[in-house]
Structure 1
Amino acid sequence: MAAASSSSSSGGAWMPGPLCLVENRGRRLSVCPEALALLAGVRQPVAVVAVVGLYRTGKSYLMNRLAGKRRGFSLGSTVQSQTKGIWIWCLPYPDRPGQTLVLLDTEGLGDVEKGDTQNDTWIFALAVLLSSTLVYNSMGTIDQNAMDQLHYVTELTERIKAKAASGGSGGSGEGGLEDTAEYVRFFPTFIWALRDFTLQLELNGRTITEDEYLENALKLKKGDAPDVRLFNFPRECIRFFFPIRKCFIFDRPTSGKNLHRLEEMTESELDPEFVEQASQFCRYVYWTSKEKTIPGGHVVTGHLLAKLVETYVETIQSGKVPCMESAVLALAEIENTAAVGEAASCYVGLMENKLKLPTETVPELLEIHAECEKEAVRTFMARAFKDDKRHFQAKLMKSLEDKKEEYCRKNERESSKRCQSVLASLAGELEEKVRMGTYSRPSGHKRFVEDLKKIEDRYRQESKKGVMAEVALQQFLKGKESIGRTILQSDEALTEKEKETAEAQAQLEAAWREQEVQRQRQAELEQKLQDQQRSYEMNMRQLEEKVARERDQLLEEQKMMLESKLEEQQAMLKGGFEKEAGRLREEIQHLQRENENMQKPSWISSLVGGLADAASLFIPGFAGRALGVVSNLFRRL
């Protein structure tokens, strides 16, 4: 199915219809360039809803309902070879301006006609890795057969690594569940959609909710026999990998003879109960689906999601196991480099708009620089993530320092041109008199000095000369010294003694002017050093604020995991599963220790303190000036 895109100035790239994002050709997965380019064009945060499940279970119909369309994802795509893989549809998020809803429809799992189904697990794993809400669609009830069909969940630790330093690709059985906390940071919310459900929702004579039905189906059996372990393992995986779970049941949408024309049927032609159930499902997904994030709370845009798709598919095709932490670090390298470039461009754009050259003083330029630099650093902070060693922030500091110096040099050049133009205009008459020999007469030296003083006085009255005013004047007067000496020596009205005195006076004035220029240069150097100090303090403040925000986000993640594990532990204790409860107790204690460490002042100081070391690598002599700032920060913390 081909579809053109229509772009929005707000950063969305909406699709009139779905496109194939990941194509499945037997044993090979490949990314489709057209869909990837459209996804990469989405600069807004994305909420990603993926649907997985067995073929011929009506997955695509649910996704079309979420898209608000009767047609879109092909309802027969699970048996059409040209639509294998993962299909994507980017749409404006309902009632959430500034966000994009990304729908991912996956090919049907377990299709016996495919022969080799090893890619099914990879399709399932990609749906888990890319989504913020995962919908598992199945037919009928949640029985042992349904659990057996969901064996893809039990293989997640074999198909996905959470941390690069984990030393392996996970495992199966109980060993594969030793550290579910790291997976939970990445994994989506889980919704089980049960289609054509015909049972009464009752348990022990009382009516129960869909969620209670799901939780009852996920109860574990006691014992350590092989058949008990086999029964428990998929249930443990769902419980531990997906602490946030929801269940929806659906009646049959219409009679069997009409199912083939479901796309054409209006809501009034469908079973009213099914229509209401589908509406409740959509409302829940719209209301609860969160922006896709990566650990630390960094929000994923369509651009970043496209990079993740590329990274994961390339890893799978290379024969390796996708590692979530490695993918995030690779993404951070790319994104932080882009963040430096974007921030530098922001700085240049602001400087070109605000800076009018030449400025009268260096502090005037530095003040404008400080405003533009602050906004540029804010731009960098908004995009950068996991810059743990602060190398990218230091690179930005060096880049902005270099650009500031270039603007200073440009300011001097513009000022010099202005000053030379003024002096050339004022000195025209004097130079004409020199050529005419007007000063080569008795008392000519006195008139020459008087005319030169008039030029200096009129020059000083001129405005908008800029920072090179004194330097240009000193150079101009220095250029007239040899002419003045010649006129002085030829002046017959002066005695030798008077000539010596006049020569000494001229040299004294020249030395004084040179000292004034040197004092100005020294003052400018001190102003620039003070500006570097201000720049570092501003960078530290923004970094400290960013780290504090990230800590709050991380603590929120930890809180969610703690609550889910405490709830799970209580359920295990209540069911008499002491071993499982003990393992959860260790994970809970580990999370609590992490929370305590993160709330210590030293946690923030250890993360921001590296900026001084990183900056000293890029900006010579920076470490000493930064030391006082870091010390003050530590005292404040």
Structure 2
Amino acid sequence: MDKPVCLIDTASDGKLCVQQSALQVLEQIQQPVVVVAVVGLYRTGKSYLMNRLAGKQTGFALGSTIESKTKGIWMWCVPHPTKAETTLVLLDTEGLGDVDKGDSKHDTRIFSLAVLLSSTLVLNSRGTIDNRAIEELQYVTELTEHIKIKSPDEVVDDAEFVKFFPSFIWAVRDFTLQLKIDGKDATEDEYLEFALKLKLGNSIQVNNYNLPRECIRKYFPSRKCFTFPFPTNPDNVSYLETLDPAEISKRFLEVTDCFCQFIFDKSQVKNLKDGHTVTGRVLGHLVKTYVDTISSGAIPCLENAVTAMAQIENEAAFQEGLEVYHTGMEKLKKSFPVELNEINSEHQCFSLMATQIFMKRSFRDSDGKFVTSLEEAMNHQFDSYLLDNERASEAKCESLLSVLSETMTERINEGFYARAGGYSLFCQDLEDIVHQYNILASQEVKVAEVLEKFLQQKIVITTAILQADDQLTENDRRICEEREKSVVLEQEIKAQEERQRQLEEKMMIEEQNHEERVRQVIQRMEKEMFVQQQETERAMASKMREQANLMEKGFQEKANTMASEIDNLKRNNREVEERKSREFAQMIANQEQRNTQNMELLRQQHREQLEAMNSRPRPSSSSCSIQ
């Protein structure tokens, strides 16, 4: 994108609405996304920082009046500067506290959406982090009322939010104070922690003072602070985006560069609740889901959103995987007929490729419903391709035999063989035809069956020529008739053996495909478990840091509560891991069961063909056969 677009706007009735053109942009982004959202009071310069993150001087609107310039949420997607094959999505939100809105809930909705959609949340404010600045963040204290992890009627420990909330950065603009605490130099992060320090006591005033601070400490897994000095002469601030860098404070530019580099290096790829990586396409679905939920008057629910995404993405993953298989096999179909090992090899290649595509996009297919549907659809198509290839091979073999037997057919029509010694001449011509045919059609899948049919069709003619040959005695004719029957029977057995070989090769391919699918399922399980473990470890580290801080400051009761939250996180994580292990174990078991059933069907065909072969009399050792 060369410029930002409006992602979420406000309709005439005051409800939030998603811009379809922005969703179309996200739909095209197949890469993982790092989502950085900026929130804060209007007219505090949020847009300037977002433009710098985009590597541009202009882009997001910088208003120069007392009116809020940005309405709704605007989006700018750019290649990530330091993470390969990743897109940086910047969300510039409508300024909070605009008196012209006339809707006290509007700001909370915007703030909640920024939290839900981002992997890093930047809070932009001016002056200092004092009590007034923190009290203005009533949106933080209301978050759990406007965001639910599970359905609203399910009770969930607030400690769970830290697993799914974004990292938190406080950008303090126009900062003029010295960074000192108790007369000692302090870092920006120490300044933030000092501002978020809790007071001892249980009075209403103390509780009101502590509440927004506790929420920030409790819900966000990590905190970072940047203090920006005045960027330039106050008269020029309104024209910041057009100023020459030489007219901007060197220190301001240095802090801005550090801010940008920190976000580039530390901001994580956006993940869903269960660790599934969010692409631009998935982000678009999330935006639509959350905004539709809010507009309906309901509360956005992470669990419901993930469930809805899973259904959409799994259906799309099924179609995408099947399309990969279909496209590849259709290209091969243009070359039909091909050798059996070639069509089997291509089937194996494209089916595994399709499964990989499916696994990459799908998630929460815990019962294996969609991967099973994909497998069945590909096998059904494969049977159809096999049939098409056999028909093409049959037509090619019949055409070849027709060409090779043209001279013999002309001789039959002319009565060439209806004479003494004609049977021997006919046999010689037929052997020559069969010999050439077996050489030219040796790789065709229907070579044996077409030849069997050809020889069956020649039995009547052969018998007629045999009876017309005066050189042969009745005993000679009887021997020749037995030989002809033996030749046809032997070719029939060859055809049956070839079908048997083809079936065995198909069984082997299916077994290999099954083993690879199981390997991919296990690989995905391990990846999901790893990402989920990282989420939990991040949440645990945040809680343990907070617990240590509370104990150090004398908040023993709150520290004990935090210890209980840590235990709950550990227990919940074990339960989730156990549930996922059970789900994947069941999924593998289902895969094994379906594979067993499929293989049993193929083995049954195998047994039936063997029985059919064994029920036929074998040619005697003295019989002559056409080679």
Q: TM-score, normalised by structure 1?
A: 0.88
Could you tell me whether the CA contact under 8 Å between 2:8 and 2:16 is conserved in 1? Answer: yes
CA apart distance, 1:315:
1.2
RMSD: 2.7
Deviations 1:521-568 (A, max 9, x none): 223222222222221111001211221122222222221111111111
Say whether the 8 Å CA contact 1:78–1:84 is kept in structure 2: no
2:349 is equivalent to residue 371 of structure 1:
yes
* Mapped pair 1:274 → 2:252: yes
- The answer on whether the counterparts of 1:197 and 1:249 sit within 8 Å (CA) in structure 2 is yes
Hey, what does 1:121 align to over in structure 2?
Answer: 108
Q: Cα deviations across residues 84-137 of structure 1 (Å, max 9, x unaligned)?
A: 100111122223342222111111111112112312111111111111111111
**Match of residue 415, structure 2, among 404, 419, 437:** 437
Give the letter for the 1:21 counterpart. Answer: L
Query: Matched residues in 2 for 1:546 and 1:167: separation?
Result: 32
SS in structure 2 of the partner of residue 452 of structure 1: helix
User: Contact conserved, 2:26 with 2:281, CA < 8 A, in 1?
Assistant: yes
2:7 pairs with 1:21: yes
Paired with 2:322 and 2:442, the residues of 1 have a C-alpha distance of 29
Amino acid at match of 1:48: V
1:414 paired with 2:400, answer no
Give the secondary-structure state (helix, strand or coil) at the position aligned to 1:335: helix
Of the structure 1 ranges 580-589 and 143-152, higher mean CA displacement relative to structure 2 is found in 580-589
> Does the residue aligned with 2:100 lie in a helix, a strand or coil?
helix
The aligned amino acid for 2:122 is V
Aligned residues: 600
Shift of 1:235: 1.3
Cα pair distance change 1:408/1:208, threshold 3 Å: same
Unmatched 5+ stretches in structure 2: 603-627
Q: Displacement of 1:307 after TM fit?
A: 1.3
1:109 and 2:96 correspond: yes
Match of 2:205 among 217, 221, 227: 227
The separation in 2 between residues aligned to 1:20 and 1:37, in whole angstroms, is 12
> Which AA in structure 2 matches 1:68?
G
Question: Secondary structure of the equivalent of 1:293?
Answer: coil
1:35 counterpart letter in structure 2: A
- Aligned residue runs from structure 1 range 21-60, under 5 A: 21-25=7-11, 27-60=14-47
- Structure 1 position 183 matched with structure 2 position 161: yes
Amino acid at match of 1:199: L
- Summarize the alignment of residues 476-487 of structure 1 with structure 2, pairs less than 5 Å apart: 476-487=454-465
Q: How does 1:209-608 map to 2 (within 5 A)?
A: 209-351=187-329, 357-360=336-339, 362-463=340-441, 465-593=443-571, 604=581, 606-608=583-585
Separation of aligned partners in 2, 1:416 and 1:595 = 60
Partner residue in 1 for 2:49: 62
Seen in structure 2, the aligned counterparts of structure 1 residues 36 and 77 have a Cα distance that, compared at 3 Å, is farther
Give the 3-state SS of the residue equivalent to 2:225 in structure 1.
strand
Q: Is the 8 A contact 2:165 2:221 kept in 1?
A: no
For residue 10 of structure 2, what is the amino acid of its counterpart? N
Unmatched 5+ stretches in structure 1? 1-14, 171-177, 627-637
**Residue in 2 aligned with 1:196?**
174
TM-score by length of 2: 0.89
Are the counterparts in 2 of residues 50 and 106 from structure 1 also a CA contact under 8 Å?
Answer: yes
Q: In 2, distance between residues paired with 1:529 and 1:88?
A: 52
Contact 1:540 1:608 in 2 (8 A): no
Identity in percent: 43
The residue type equivalent to 1:579 in the other structure is E
Deviation at residue 423 of structure 1 after TM alignment: 0.5
Which among 128, 153, 158 is matched to residue 140 of structure 2?
A: 153
Tell me the amino acid that sits aligned with residue 246 of structure 1: K
Q: What code does the residue aligned with 1:424 have?
A: S
The SS at the match of 2:76 is strand
- C-alpha separation between the residues in 1 aligned to 2:248 and 2:577? 55
Cα offsets for 1:195-248 (capped at 9, x unmatched):
222322222221211111111222222333333222222111111111200111
In structure 2, distance between residues paired with 1:517 and 1:151: 81
Structure 1 residues 185, 83: CA separation in 2 closer, same or farther (over 3 Å shift)? Answer: same
Q: Indicate how the Cα distance of structure 1 residues 23 and 357 shifts in structure 2: closer, same or farther if over 3 A, else same.
A: same
Q: Pick from 613, 618, 622 the counterpart of residue 590 of structure 2.
A: 613
Task: Indicate conservation of the 8 Å contact 1:418/1:465, yes or no.
Answer: no
Look up the equivalent residue of 2:43 and give its one-letter code.
R
Is the CA contact (8 Å cut-off) linking 1:358 and 1:464 kept in structure 2? no
CA contact (8 A) 1:335 1:383 kept: yes
Contact 1:60/1:105 (<8 A) preserved: yes
Where 2:124 maps in the other structure, the secondary structure is strand
In 2 relative to 1, CA 407–181 (structure 1 residues): closer, same or farther, beyond 3 Å?
A: farther
1:142 partnered with 2:133:
no
What is the Cα deviation at residue 615 of structure 1? 7.7
- Kindly state the Cα deviation for residue 497 of structure 1 after the two structures are TM-superposed: 4.1
* More moved, 496-505 vs 41-50: 496-505
Q: Could you report, residue by residue, the CA deviation over 1:575-602 in whole angstroms, capped at 9, with x for unpaired residues?
A: 33333323322332244346667888x9
* CA drift at 1:496: 3.9
Answer whether contact 1:48 1:101 (CA < 8 A) is retained.
yes
C-alpha distance 434-78 of structure 1, shift in aligned 2 (>3 A)? farther
Tell me, in whole angstroms, the C-alpha distance in 2 between the residues paired with 1:593 and 1:33.
42
- Superimposed CA distance per residue, residues 347-389 of structure 1 (whole angstroms, 9 cap, x where no aligned partner): 34444567854344x3443233323333332222222222211
Q: Describe the shift of the 1:77–1:513 C-alpha distance in structure 2 as closer, same or farther (beyond 3 A).
A: farther
